[in-house]
């Protein structure tokens, strides 16, 4: 895969899928900007990447706050001169049945998981436009395609990301920017570790390839879509789920 010394911003990149993506991009020679609302976690992730021989720069950022995102872009460009790759990964869950879901639970997830993609992409894609080159990856979810009990807010946000991805691909394509989404299936992360063991076992048993996914499985797909080799792929949602959902 070809990268040519690019600069990448990965949101929510201090653990799980985001950290795995940041690490694989750094191993490819990309300068990686790690972001999170927790500066201690940011420092730890940056140290891990540097210990593996990669180059990383960490910044605290609340991706739902436009002013903080704007400042993030300015700091990255001040340090590296450009932004070539953006991975919108930051997100949360606030699960509840639809009947019991509160306005607060709905708004918090839609803001963190969907509106943040709108804000971050709007603020950072302008740097890609000026260079006539960019790769934007939005992390959706299998539940954005299939739905899931107790996750109406999360499913709506992740489905929204897919729709937004398709529109951005149309609007930004003429600027040399590709926009794609990845829809992970059941991945071993801190989020899925909270699921009761019996339910976890049932989910894994339903996956045709016979195992749960790893953050590295998603990272490998992200690395390809972020590369120059993927220049004619845009507006696509790539399911990485072990054939868990096949529609």
Residue with tokens 């992409």: 121
Distance CA(239)–CA(217), nearest Å, equals: 11
Out of 80, 127, 133, 154, the active site residue is 154
Active site residue 154: yes
Are the CB atoms for 213 and 241 separated by under 8 Å?
A: yes
**Token pair recorded at residue 164:** 């937004």
Residue with tokens 């990485």: 240
Distance CA(114)–CA(138), nearest Å, equals: 10
Give long-range contacts, CB 8 A cutoff, 24+ apart: 114-119: 114/156, 114/157, 114/158, 114/160, 114/161, 114/164, 115/64, 116/11, 116/63, 116/64, 116/88, 116/90, 116/91, 117/88, 117/161, 117/164, 118/164, 119/63, 119/64, 119/65, 119/66, 119/69
One DSSP character per residue, 106-150 reads HHHHHIIIIIHHHHHHHHHHHHHHHHT-EEEEEE--THHHH--TT
Catalytic residues: 154
């Amino acid at each position: 895969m070809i990268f040519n010394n690019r600069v990448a911003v990965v949101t929510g990149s201090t653990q799980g899928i985001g950290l795995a993506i940041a690490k694989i991009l750094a191993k490819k020679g990309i300068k990686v900007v790690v972001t999170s609302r927790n500066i201690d976690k940011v420092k730890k992730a940056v140290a891990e990447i540097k210990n593996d021989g990669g180059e990383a720069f960490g910044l605290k950022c609340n991706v739902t706050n436009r002013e903080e995102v704007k400042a993030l872009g300015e700091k990255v460009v001040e340090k590296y001169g450009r932004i070539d790759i953006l991975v919108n990964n930051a997100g949360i869950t606030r699960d509840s049945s639809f009947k019991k879901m509160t306005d607060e639970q709905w708004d918090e997830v839609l803001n963190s998981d969907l509106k943040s993609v709108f804000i971050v992409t709007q603020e950072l894609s302008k740097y890609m436009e000026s260079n006539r080159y960019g790769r934007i990856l939005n992390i959706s979810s299998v539940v954005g395609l299939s739905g899931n009990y107790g996750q109406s807010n999360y499913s709506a946000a992740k489905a929204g990301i897919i729709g937004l991805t398709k529109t951005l691909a149309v609007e930004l394509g003429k600027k040399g920017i590709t926009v794609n989404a990845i829809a992970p299936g059941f991945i071993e992360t801190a989020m899925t570790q909270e699921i009761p063991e019996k339910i976890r076992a049932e989910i894994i048993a339903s996956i045709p390839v016979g195992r749960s996914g790893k953050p590295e499985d998603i990272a490998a797909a992200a690395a390809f879509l972020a590369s120059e080799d993927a220049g004619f792929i845009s507006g696509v949602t790539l399911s990485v789920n072990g054939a868990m959902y096949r529609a």
